[in-house]
Structure 1
Amino acid sequence: MADQTFLNWPFFDDRHRALAAEVEAFAAGLTIDHSDTDAACRALVTALGEAGIAAHSGALDGKLDVRSLCLIRETLARHDGLADFAFAMQGLGTGAISLFGSEAQRGEWLSQTRRGAAISAFALTEPQSGSDVANSTMTATRDGEDYILNGEKTWISNGGIADVYTLFARTGEAPGAKGLSCFIVTPDLQGFSVEERLETIAPHPLARLKFTDCRVPASAMIGRPGQGFAIAMSVLDVFRSSVAAAALGFARRALDESLKRVTTRQVQGAPLSDLQMVQGHIADMALDIDAAALLIYRAAWTKDSGAPRVTREAAMAKLFATDQAQKVIDAAVQLHGGDGVRSGETVEKLYREIRALRIYEGASDVQRVVIARQTLAAQQES
């Protein structure tokens, strides 16, 4: 069992501790066949819905409980990376709907995604504009009561299996960031196609999507024309801390596996844990994990306490937690020796899982830019 003492920190209420125990019991009982990634993801979404856990993925009364999001992602990631992915995308994919959608949009989709009856996706990234969202070129041209979509999206999580996509396209109200809008899109629309399924070192459903004269009703727009960039940033502002929490879950599992290894593996008649260099690794891993947890739950608590934005706090949490989790997992692989690189071993799977978290939803170097700009802006205002 991973360390649970952090649940006694003042960031949490009794309801968070109860939720953590509920998710722990659910995750410990998971039996998912990972040989077919699409099927496994569908099964996990269904299971999360039936267990009532997916209900926490969206906003209630217009507000998301970010601490709950983070606790769930940390716990699921510690047990199963794809389970974390399945839960995260139910939240990220419908984040724009739950925070900015009309009553009709929320009523149609949130009930389905929360009970695991529909899979959601967040279609933001384009081939030429990953972190530079303002440079998006996909267009949505008004035509009477409809918009016509043209362009591509890539690296879309749940691409190819999702039932609903929140998609961002340029409607042209102004140049750059102010000319983007957000739409609800379903894969049955004419002109929507899955052009390519993308394989990665940690298998997840990913795809490149193409839209060719794809007609959507104007009622499919979330929020107002030109509000898309603000919607996207608000959603990422909330969910960025939860990416850090998933990294924390991976790191905790790596430490658990390492503790078992060094206390049971014998070298020259004594356990590995007697060696000072090994103790140094364990100390660094424990330190990095606690430091990451403090940053993550500070950001989540700050948002839940009413802060309109936590851009700086969330960027710090994501940058530090994902980068340090990479170090923790690398140390775990080292402590496992040859078994650490054996295909299918827990730490080997963690090594593949963690790498993408330092890229998606804002790469590490982008987070450094965000933190620097926020810090400089605060200095100029003081």
Structure 2
Amino acid sequence: MDRSFLDWPFFEERHRELAEGLEEWACANLPVAHGDVDAACRGLVRALGDGGWLRHSGGEALDIRSLCLIRETLARHDGLADFAFAMQGLGMGAVSLFGSPAQREWLERTRAGRAISAFALTEPGSGSDVARIAMTAQRDGGGWVLAGEKTYISNGGIADLYVIFARTGEAPGAKGLSAFLLPADTPGLEVVERIEVMAPHPLAHLRLRDVRLPGAALIGEAGAGFRVAMTVLDHFRPTVGAAALGFARRALDEALGRVTERQLFGAPMAGLQMVQGHLAEMALKVDAAALLVYRAAWAKDRGAARITREAAMAKLYATEAAQQVIDQAVQLFGGDGVRVGVAVESLYREIRALRIYEGASDVQKLVIARSVLEDRA
């Protein structure tokens, strides 16, 4: 794989050392068997913790370039490994950024791979429109009582704790939401359904029936839940682009191997101009995605208060470009490209969800357009 991008000025020597160390670890430990997805995810979290990689997933300061490099590398080797790492960071993002000292004690366990975290935002009636969250959290003495449903929750059913968002009613819409830390063994939390998707990951539909939480479960301030959620997504959205970038790099690498080894019309496929045209387009998309992803990560690490526009551009372009790169790789593989067990077939299923979760592509376009219009005003 081309690693020349590590010499770009976005990175410091510590990032290059991180990428080199993780590459060595991934070659020795990945991919894992996916037959039992729950067991595979639990094993991956433990292995990532034992390897020391989860120490980057949360804490006092999140280094977004490190998160992106880790996700890109893991995704290139094993999409499920990327998922396992990503959810430890996203799941505890609110605690890393806004949690109390007592709540932050959970980070010792999640960073060590001894507890699995989840981020519970989506509901049956509110996906991209977070302000429509219907789950309620009502004050009860010094605590809270939560009721409602969440769906498409990653790590749902295997998580040890959830960061969950509910309506506390300080104001209408987005201004009346709050975030809570919910241990999975809390009475009243029910896993209604395990959701199966085309690239298997632990997903679940959850129901909360009069779940009682102490006042200390509130993350940050009451009514600040929307800001908490958007800040977390600002930090982690570029890493979704990084995962897509990892998938795209793997697809390009697989395609290069295919066309240099495969004979067509008496010569290697790589000698055909049409094939070379495909390879050029794929390489261009990979580099353009990398530039956008690491620009966003660099900007945040350099102290930018918000990178909403940069993160949206990185997430949108990288995921859409990866879909196109992988599709071209499947085409170059011909019939073998849709055969189960071939790497590009797996990548084809893995990439599709990234264009939806943590902000669908159409929503990212709205975010970017509004930012451009605000700059014009």
TM-score normalised to the size of structure 2?
A: 0.99
**Matched letter for residue 6 of structure 1:** F
Structure 2 residue aligned with 1:38: 38
**Structure 1 residues without counterparts, runs of 5 or longer:** none
Residue 359 of structure 2: SS of its match in structure 1?
Answer: coil
Please state how far the C-alpha of 1:218 moved relative to its aligned partner: 1.0
Q: 1:123, 1:156 within 8 Å by CA — same for their partners in 2? A: yes
Once the two structures are superposed, what CA deviation does each residue of 1:287-315 show, in whole Å capped at 9, x if it has no partner?
00000000000000000000011000000
**Matched letter for residue 230 of structure 1:** R
1:228 to 210, 225, 230: 225
1:135 to 126, 132, 135: 132
Q: 1:95, 1:235 within 8 Å by CA — same for their partners in 2? A: yes
Q: How many residues align?
A: 376
- Structure-1 separation of matches of 2:131 and 2:15: 36
Q: How does 1:13-92 map to 2 (within 5 A)?
A: 13-31=12-30, 32-59=32-59, 61=60, 63-92=61-90
Instruction: Verify: 1:248 aligned to 2:253, yes or no.
Output: no
- Structure-1 separation of matches of 2:101 and 2:187: 26
Instruction: Verify: 1:9 aligned to 2:8, yes or no.
Output: yes
Q: How does 1:151-230 map to 2 (within 5 A)?
A: 151-230=148-227
Residue 92 of structure 2: SS of its match in structure 1?
Answer: helix
Residue 226 of structure 1: SS of its match in structure 2?
Answer: coil
Runs of 4 or more consecutive aligned structure 1 residues displaced over 2 Å after TM superposition: none
Structure 2 residue aligned with 1:368: 365
- Structure-1 separation of matches of 2:101 and 2:321: 41
- Structure-2 separation of matches of 1:344 and 1:212: 42
Q: How does 1:253-332 map to 2 (within 5 A)?
A: 253-332=250-329
**Matched letter for residue 67 of structure 2:** L
Please state how far the C-alpha of 1:57 moved relative to its aligned partner: 0.5
Structure 1 residue aligned with 2:93: 95
Q: 1:187, 1:193 within 8 Å by CA — same for their partners in 2? A: no
Residue 236 of structure 1: SS of its match in structure 2?
Answer: helix
Residue 158 of structure 2: SS of its match in structure 1?
Answer: coil
Residue 113 of structure 2: SS of its match in structure 1?
Answer: coil
Please state how far the C-alpha of 1:92 moved relative to its aligned partner: 0.1
Please state how far the C-alpha of 1:33 moved relative to its aligned partner: 1.9
Once the two structures are superposed, what CA deviation does each residue of 1:30-64 show, in whole Å capped at 9, x if it has no partner?
252210000000000000000000110113x3x21
Q: 1:157, 1:207 within 8 Å by CA — same for their partners in 2? A: yes
- Structure-2 separation of matches of 1:24 and 1:177: 41
**Matched letter for residue 23 of structure 2:** E
Residue 35 of structure 1: SS of its match in structure 2?
Answer: coil
Please state how far the C-alpha of 1:186 moved relative to its aligned partner: 1.2
Q: How does 1:352-367 map to 2 (within 5 A)?
A: 352-367=349-364
**Matched letter for residue 224 of structure 1:** E
Percent identity between the two aligned chains: 68
**Matched letter for residue 309 of structure 1:** R
Please state how far the C-alpha of 1:187 moved relative to its aligned partner: 1.6
- Structure-2 separation of matches of 1:110 and 1:364: 31
- Structure-2 separation of matches of 1:252 and 1:373: 31
**Matched letter for residue 280 of structure 2:** A
Q: 1:153, 1:208 within 8 Å by CA — same for their partners in 2? A: yes
- Structure-1 separation of matches of 2:250 and 2:351: 12
- Structure-2 separation of matches of 1:80 and 1:199: 19
- Structure-2 separation of matches of 1:379 and 1:24: 43
- Structure-2 separation of matches of 1:182 and 1:13: 35
Residue 292 of structure 2: SS of its match in structure 1?
Answer: helix
Residue 29 of structure 2: SS of its match in structure 1?
Answer: coil
- Structure-2 separation of matches of 1:212 and 1:342: 44
Residue 23 of structure 1: SS of its match in structure 2?
Answer: helix
- Structure-2 separation of matches of 1:122 and 1:262: 41
- Structure-1 separation of matches of 2:98 and 2:245: 29
- Structure-2 separation of matches of 1:349 and 1:3: 21
- Structure-1 separation of matches of 2:184 and 2:269: 54
- Structure-1 separation of matches of 2:2 and 2:175: 45
Please state how far the C-alpha of 1:269 moved relative to its aligned partner: 1.5
TM-score normalised to the size of structure 1?
A: 0.98
Residue 336 of structure 1: SS of its match in structure 2?
Answer: helix
- Structure-1 separation of matches of 2:212 and 2:265: 70
**Matched letter for residue 45 of structure 1:** V
**Structure 2 residues without counterparts, runs of 5 or longer:** none
- Structure-1 separation of matches of 2:185 and 2:320: 39
